[in-house]
């Protein structure tokens, strides 16, 4: 309990965020495994036409909230990458300042 009271709000935020990310990872992992099992069971049922790909199946039959988040992130990245030309990238890179070598102070 002393460790808790000795933490700054920023330290507590990072500890809580790490705990929450770990909990979300294991929860999402188990749901992803369940969805994969459902997909293979679905593929085993006789039906007319072809079976959908796993990507199409997961978005149409068993979507999860984090799928939409990832899809938006990918769309944003693709939109950003398409909005800038290679010449503009080179111009940005040339404007960046390079970091010089840090010299060690003379030892006394």
43-84 per-position pLDDT tens digit:
888 777 777 788 888 888 888 888 876 565 555 555 555 566
pLDDT at 103 over 60: no
Q: How many CA atoms lie within 13 A of 35 on its CB side?
A: 19
| Model pLDDT, residue 83 | 63
d(CA 51, CA 66): 24
The pLDDT value recorded for residue 96 is 62
Give the global pTM: 0.50
* CA Rg value for the chain: 24
pLDDT exceeds 90 at position 23 = yes
pLDDT at 34: 92
């Amino acid at each position: 309990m002393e460790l808790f009271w000795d933490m700054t709000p920023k330290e507590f935020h990072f500890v809580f965020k790490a705990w929450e990310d770990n909990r979300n990872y294991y929860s999402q992992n188990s749901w992803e495994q369940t969805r994969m099992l459902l997909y293979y069971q679905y593929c085993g049922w006789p039906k007319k036409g072809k079976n959908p790909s796993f990507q199409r199946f997961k978005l149409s039959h068993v979507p999860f909230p984090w799928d939409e988040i990832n899809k938006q992130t990918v769309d944003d990245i693709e939109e950003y990458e398409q909005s800038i030309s290679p010449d503009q990238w080179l111009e940005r890179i040339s404007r960046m300042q390079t970091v010089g070598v840090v010299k060690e102070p003379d030892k006394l």
